[in-house]
Structure 1
Amino acid sequence: MWFVPAPDGVKQQAWHLLAIFVATIVGIVAKPLPMGAVALLGILATALTGTLTVQESLSGFGNNVIWLIVLAFFIARGFIKTGLGTRIAYLFVRAIGGRTLGLGYGMLATDLVLAPAIPGW
């Protein structure tokens, strides 16, 4: 795609950026490396080929919303690896799960405690 001439009305820079984007998506799907490494290689490719400046390539990392999403997934990964969410659920079920209704309330309380910290799937 990189060496194919750009269609009419499309700038060469935009065409090269599309080629790098497609290659990055193919790399993420094929998984020759972890997703983060493939994404960083895509960013590096945009800067090294001159398709974008280094400032333009890294501009997405200055967005606060992106960092909020990344942080939420790090916290979720921590909950999964440590089993903290499961342990909190067991505490609520043990405390108020003596009957079926208490079990439902225990699960509801668990969701109320854990939902703000864990992103939805």
Structure 2
Amino acid sequence: MGDKTYNIAYTVANTGSGDAGASTTLITIDGVNVATEAVLALSVGGSHTATLGPFTMTGDSDMIEVCADGDDTVPESNEANNCKENRFEYPAPVLTPPGLVALIGLLMVVAVRRVKKGG
């Protein structure tokens, strides 16, 4: 199996009508807090972008959640838009069958070969 590490890139944006104080962004993977990052105060329309990692998958997928103002210190008119959750799945290997002749659009033409067992 190949390398199962990845980075998480995210953006925290102030979409409100007033300035937002400094906060902490929380990153959880499969319900476990794996990272925190301090975010400086954001003016109206301001944003903060970061990339954290690498993180290593333990299975074939991870449920990743990023929460802005994870410690709930910034007073907001809408607390419900602070978190985003996504499932990240390990990509399946690309298998090329032996005897592949051509790949035309969505049609795969394969040459089939019989293998004699035992000699």
TM-score over 0.5 for the pair: no
More strand by share: 2
More helix by share: 1
RCO greater where, 1 or 2, for CA within 8 Å and sep 6 or more?
2
TM-score, normalised by the number of residues in structure 1:
0.31
TM-score, normalised by the number of residues in structure 2:
0.31
